[in-house]
């Protein structure tokens, strides 16, 4: 596997405050990040302790107006919330309005509480993944050709012409997932595959750190390699904790916070804590051994020294 240059992105922002969002997007761009991502949650679901949930696309259009090179996308779309052909329409519209700066992040959904809140009970995991694959089939066809004729178990779509094309020649899909079927589906459809480190309770969907161990990531990286054949897929990391500097928490402290063994935290890609040199070395080893070159974090300014040290290398 030929290593790709490092790229960095931010997830999160003041998405319900237009002026603050414009300033945030300009800062993200000026500090050398490549992308700014939103999320796709609603109501009862909290991200970083906040209930501040907004549409996954609309705020990003405001941010795009304030920047020139920064790319945008939802990280990730909850497929269970959306009709695939209508989602493709939204993606095409956003890409046209932003001069081809969309990265469409896709996931199967997992939080039962969100679905209960909107009166649409979540499907069982197997059915959810099957529907996810069907949705990707429809979306990829519409993004590429503007047409689709497909009938699946859960989704159907028939368009001779949807009436829109992306601004960019190939609109990339970022797929996040953890289980073996999700990895195999990503091997077919993804331009970027994202490791998150998070497993989920099979009933409630509550996230947990069951995938934090480096061995779990290596196993999924091997699945992706085996299933993708000749396809070149960028490998991405959604980091769950970052702290750069001498006062960063130790591996022992983080182990207590996450309920994990110290050696797991020391090796995990999902917690980057310590000096610039320590974090740079860890990311370079992850790229060398697992091919991970795309890193998504949530602390714009705090992580900037790492971006400055590694971006484009």
Residue spans of alpha helices (H) in the chain: 18-30, 58-65, 84-97, 112-117, 125-145, 180-189, 214-228, 251-258, 262-267, 276-290, 304-310
Element (H, E) at 7: strand 7-11
| Bigger pLDDT: 202 vs 124 | 124
Confidence of residue 51 (pLDDT cuts 50, 70, 90): low
Q: Give every CB contact of residue 125 below 8 A, 6+ residues apart in sequence.
A: 179, 202
Confidence of residue 3 (pLDDT cuts 50, 70, 90): confident
pLDDT for 208: 85
pLDDT for 48: 52
pLDDT for 93: 97
Give the tens place of pLDDT for each residue, 154-206: 999 999 999 999 999 999 999 999 899 999 999 999 999 999 998 888 778 88
Q: Which domains does the chain have, with CATH numbers?
A: 7-310 (3.20.20.30)
| Bigger pLDDT: 53 vs 104 | 104
**CA torsion angle 165 166 168 169 (round to 10):** -40
pLDDT for 200: 84
CA 297 – CA 204 distance, rounded (Å):
26
Residue 278 has pLDDT above 60, yes or no: yes
Task: Calculate mean pLDDT across residues 213-234.
Answer: 96
b/e code 203-220 from CB counts within 10 Å (16+ = b): eebebebebbbbebbeeb
Q: What is the mean pLDDT of the chain?
A: 94
Task: Calculate mean pLDDT across residues 49-63.
Answer: 84
Task: Calculate mean pLDDT across residues 26-50.
Answer: 83
Residue 32 has pLDDT above 60, yes or no: yes
Confidence of residue 50 (pLDDT cuts 50, 70, 90): low
pLDDT for 198: 87
């Amino acid at each position: 596997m030929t290593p790709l240059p490092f790229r960095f992105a931010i997830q999160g922002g003041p998405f319900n405050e237009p002026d603050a969002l414009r300033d945030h997007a300009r800062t993200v761009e000026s500090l050398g990040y490549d992308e700014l991502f939103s999320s796709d949650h609603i109501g009862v679901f909290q991200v970083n302790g906040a209930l501040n949930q907004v549409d996954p696309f609309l705020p990003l259009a405001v941010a795009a107006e304030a920047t020139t090179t920064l790319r945008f996308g939802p990280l990730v779309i909850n497929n269970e919330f959306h009709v695939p052909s209508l989602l493709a329409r939204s993606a095409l519209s956003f890409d046209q309005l932003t001069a081809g700066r969309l990265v469409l992040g896709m996931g199967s959904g997992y939080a039962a509480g969100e679905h209960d809140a909107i009166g649409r009970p979540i499907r069982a995991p197997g059915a959810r993944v099957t529907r996810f694959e069907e949705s990707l089939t429809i979306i990829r066809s519409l993004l590429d050709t503007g047409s689709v004729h497909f009938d699946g178990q859960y989704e159907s779509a028939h368009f001779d012409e949807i009436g829109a094309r992306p601004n960019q020649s190939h609109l990339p899909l970022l797929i996040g997932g953890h289980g073996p079927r999700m990895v195999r589906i990503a091997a077919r459809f993804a331009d970027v595959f994202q490791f998150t480190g998070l497993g989920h309770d099979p009933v409630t969907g509550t996230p947990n750190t069951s995938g934090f161990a480096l061995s779990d990531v290596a196993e999924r990286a091997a699945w992706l390699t085996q299933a993708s054949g000749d396809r070149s897929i960028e490998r991405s990391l959604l980091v769950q904790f970052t702290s750069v500097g001498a006062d960063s928490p130790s591996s022992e402290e983080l182990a207590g916070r996450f309920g994990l063994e110290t050696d797991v935290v020391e090796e995990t890609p999902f917690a980057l804590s310590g000096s610039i040199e320590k974090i740079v070395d860890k990311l370079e080893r992850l790229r060398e051994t697992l091919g991970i070159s795309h890193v998504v974090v949530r602390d714009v300014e705090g992580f900037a020294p790492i971006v400055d040290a590694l971006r484009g290398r």
